[in-house]
Amino acid sequence: MESVLEQLARIQIFSEFALSLFLIIPLVLISRTVVTGTKYSPILLIVIFGLIMGYALVAGGVSEPGLPDFHIVDVLSKTTIIALMASFFVGGQELRKLISKLHVEPDTTYAHSEIETSVGTTLTQLLYIIRAFLLLLGLEVAHRAITGNDDGAISRYYPLLAYIGLAGSILLVDFKAKIANKKLHMRRGVVEMLFICLIMIATDYLSFWIKPTIALPQIFFAMLMSCGLGAVFYKWRKGATLRALLFAGLPVVLAANFMIGGSRITEVFNISGMNSILGFGFFGQLAWMFGGIALIMIFGKTAHVRNLAPALAGGLSHAGLTGACTAGDLGPIAASRAPIMINMPFLAHVFVFSILAVSAERGSLMMGPSLVVLAVGVALTIMSKRSLRAANGNDTKEINGLMLFSLGWQLVALFGGFILLSLAGMPLGHTAVAATSSLSHFGLFAATQGGMFGIGMAELLPFIFAMPFLVHPFVFYVFGKAMDKDGHLHYGQVFVLAGIGVVGTIISLAAV
């Protein structure tokens, strides 16, 4: 009898792997198909389809809230750090080249295949999406297996799942792409896998060892190490692993997260005070996003996508805009600048996570240090406007101004949100979730998801984080219209949306 149950368990885990693959990959592809020829990013549809899928699985009786029967989806939903590490590494490279004024010749050893396998997706892009799925799964379970993470019965299958994921990603070759040296390209991908896994293990132990002193999350150390490696190896040519994670890592992570979030829709609305959290998340995102854009337009004297998209991707550590930039949806200049702007605010996270970690331990926000950091953010934001105004189209000056804005505005939005919600009387755990959602802030998402503010908030986060993504039709409409007009955003649209965000945020705070 025991051997029969064991065989059934093995069959179940492989069936679950196949089902997860055929749920998430088509979800991403359909999202790309629907937005083809429109002004929107696939991220928007991934949110909607993911929520619908998660809700349907629970409503149809296939699973329960949280999708406990879908272990693979749960594993993928917690690979946020891995997806971000690719951006941190490239951002470190770009920062080193910018600060040291180094010139590196563009990589001409790789040319994508332009064969369309589904509407809006080429063969190369399809393979990136599948490889990202396999990489995220393989690297995460390998890390869990090595560190001895016990997740119940599924833990025994971690070594096998790691083998399937990593071996599959290596063997998946884009036979139509023009690669100067395929063996070298593959070896680079293997080296990138190795370093990601080593960083994951090292940062896991580091966050555990330092926890008695200060509960800094794993994402903080992963950011520092990835960015540092990028600065050291600034000449590194991207291999198969980095290319796949940069293009499809965030969409796959978001698809898994929003499936789990959708499964908790009915559960979330039964929690006291949830309307204020959802309201602040939705309207706060309008306020921080379009308020920041309006400030750059008015005082920085620039309304071009090449500046505004990476500025707000970095200034909010914004998941959707980051994914759109790195995938190239908003042009090549925004794509090249986004990794720099994403990394820049994370350099200040030694203060951010220190204050929030201590606040989490005491159960309330440390108001004094938070106000100091907020004041620093305001000062940096003002400085950035002067720098942008004086740039006059100069690439280096624009990037310097955007770096200041990314750092300053993130401190303003992050601590401004925490301070406002704390003064309104919202509990710290709810405040963390509301602030995370109002920025679509990936770093804070990873920290909260890791239990920084309690397991209860971590379980509710995927759905609450998804709700502000309903702002994205406005975001991508405004940016899409700009792409049709030589990259310039419409002033009236930005100011109206910013105004709606401010008014909605005030109403949400009053309802706390």
Instruction: Summarize pLDDT for 18-63 with one digit per residue, the tens.
Output: 888 999 999 999 989 988 877 667 877 888 888 889 889 988 888 8
Residues 6+ apart with CB under 8 A from 11: none
**pLDDT for the residue numbered 157:** 86
pLDDT in tens, 128-160: 999 999 999 999 999 999 988 777 777 888 998
Candidates 327, 298, 292; CA nearest to 312 is 292
Identify the DSSP state of 490: P
pLDDT in tens, 237-246: 898 999 999 8
**pLDDT for the residue numbered 438:** 87
Helix (H, G, I), strand (E, B) or coil at 122: strand
Contact 259, 28 (CB under 8 A): no
Burial class (CB in 10 A: 0-12, 13-18, 19+), 249: buried
pLDDT category at 348 given cuts 50, 70, 90 is low
pTM beyond 0.85, yes or no = no
Residues 6+ apart with CB under 8 A from 502: 287, 291
Contact 385, 302 (CB under 8 A): no
Dump the DSSP string for 387-446: HHHTTTT-HHHHHHHHHHHHHHHHHHHHHHHHHHHHHTT--HHHHHHHHHHHHTBHHHHH
Q: Is the pLDDT of residue 489 over 80?
A: yes
Residues 6+ apart with CB under 8 A from 389: 299, 300, 301
Dist. CA 503–CA 512, nearest whole Å:
15
Residue 407: count of CB within 10 angstroms of its CB:
24
Dump the DSSP string for 283-333: HHHHHHHHHHHHHHHHHS---BHHHHHHHHHHHTTBHHHHHHHHTTTT-HH
Of 4-13, 346-355, 495-504, the range with the lowest mean pLDDT is 4-13
Pull the structure tokens for residue 477.
Answer: 């409409």
